[in-house]
Structure 1
């Protein structure tokens, strides 16, 4: 653990202290901004703006830096203070992000949007903008979301199974080109050896996950945790009885869905229906 800094008049200001720590930690480790880009996956300009005080970055970026420097949770704590409202950073979501990066198996149910791990930059940008983000903050969050896809890449990537409600494939983006890219990305992902996609068609009746997006994470020690999310809140569930009950519900919904081969065919059919050029 790096030694604590002397508190100076300048570093008592949370935003400046945060930027100061980022610069000093990188200097001590001997990293360049380019090396951070290669190792952590976000652009060198992102880290440069954070160190210069022009941007605070996203919690995902800060979490990665904390792990890289071995300072967990110091940088996240400073980030919360710099943001000015610790309640904006949900503790449960922070823990979920840590667990997601360590998981050896992942299962997902998507209600109306593709899983964040399978979103293109165009989709992420429109989805986040719809939530009120704009400008630099929007671009930071888009970059952070795309960076999470590293979890599913590489020879040691964990298996990932996702059930997509048909609504996911019907709620198109405003730009047909971006929507084609998203559907094409899903079809390509379905060919990956570690990714399995199911489409749950309309007309299969009501089920217990109608309005709840859900992720299950299997950890290396054998336990499984769940994270549920709707429009109002998210909840990390670690109690084994509740997780097992939710997993049984997930299995029931999976049995109602198309097979992986049928699902990919369905996605490709949806892709064919999207016009190649935006209407004028």
Structure 2
């Protein structure tokens, strides 16, 4: 086991701390990036990006590195801290992200894209790239968004109710294989006991959230906060009266939506319309 690292201020920067540990472990072992590729199977580029802080990699890669260096579960623990670090999100989301991690239950309405908690890496990458991100910043934001999914994977995951406008299911990715993967992931999520997924079909009628993504969090202290977002801006809403009005609107939208069982069938029908052949 390598010598224990001294705790420093870098512990307040989990992503940087994780990358540094990877570099130190490889240097101490005398491995090259190419040797890691040969032994573990992932590309040298993957390990290089992780050590450079451009990517966090997947938990499978990190677990393999933990085994290789004999450090388990240290690297996976550092990876989890880096994934959960709110500082990797853009400023307007940071307060919301910190609260989301503490939520005991969640509700969401999505206008045109799957909620971040249910996005696949392929979907997140294309969506963020469409917003102008590229290079290292793109990879960092993909890692951050996909990392949020672990909130629903925990042993005591909070209940999550999500309403998807039909537009979410019709606004396909260019890469058909990735799009099929996203739809399949929604179906898998809908089978979880803590997830209630509803589809709001076209023609259900006008409602108060037509153009606004809305997220609600019930916190440990009993408060509920909301986060609303449109194409122009996002806003964290904490004033009780405003949150209550938004939540009533959300409940009215839920009454218009399909049941979870009907919604799963609806997504299956959409999936059947997607070509099986990979994009070229």
Q: Normalised by the shorter chain, which TM-score bucket?
A: 0.7 to 0.9
Distance 2:119 2:97 in 1: 16
Deviations 1:38-96 (A, max 9, x none): xxxxx98666323xxxx599xxxxxx98x959xx99xx5xx8xxxxxxxx942x42110
Unaligned runs of 5+ in 1: 6-17, 34-42, 58-63, 80-87
Q: Secondary structure at the match of 2:158?
A: coil
Whether the 8 Å CA contact 2:237–2:243 is kept in 1: the answer is yes
Residue equivalent to 1:180? 180
Whether 2:60 is the aligned partner of 1:49: answer no
Alignment of 1:122-271 (within 5 A): 122-271=122-271
Whether the 8 Å CA contact 2:55–2:139 is kept in 1: the answer is no
Task: For residue 154 of structure 1, report the CA deviation from its aligned partner.
Answer: 2.1
TM-score between the two structures when normalised by the length of structure 2: 0.72
Using a 3 Å threshold, how does the CA distance of structure 1 residues 238 and 47 change in structure 2: closer, same or farther?
A: farther
Distance 1:245 1:221 in 2: 20
Deviations 1:87-125 (A, max 9, x none): x942x4211000001101000000000001101111111
Task: For residue 4 of structure 1, report the CA deviation from its aligned partner.
Answer: 6.9
Whether the 8 Å CA contact 2:187–2:264 is kept in 1: the answer is yes
Q: Which runs of 4+ in 1 moved over 3 A?
A: 2-5, 21-24, 43-47
Distance 1:144 1:203 in 2: 35
Equivalent residues, number:
228
Using a 3 Å threshold, how does the CA distance of structure 1 residues 45 and 240 change in structure 2: closer, same or farther?
A: farther
Distance 1:56 1:270 in 2: 33
Deviations 1:112-141 (A, max 9, x none): 000011011111111011001112221221
Distance 1:44 1:151 in 2: 25
Unaligned runs of 5+ in 2: 1-6, 27-45, 57-76
Distance 1:159 1:242 in 2: 23
Alignment of 1:17-32 (within 5 A): 22-23=16-17
Distance 2:210 2:244 in 1: 18
Whether 2:123 is the aligned partner of 1:120: answer no
TM-score between the two structures when normalised by the length of structure 1: 0.72
Distance 1:56 1:175 in 2: 22
Using a 3 Å threshold, how does the CA distance of structure 1 residues 48 and 162 change in structure 2: closer, same or farther?
A: same
Residue equivalent to 1:38? none
Superposed CA RMSD in Å reads 3.2
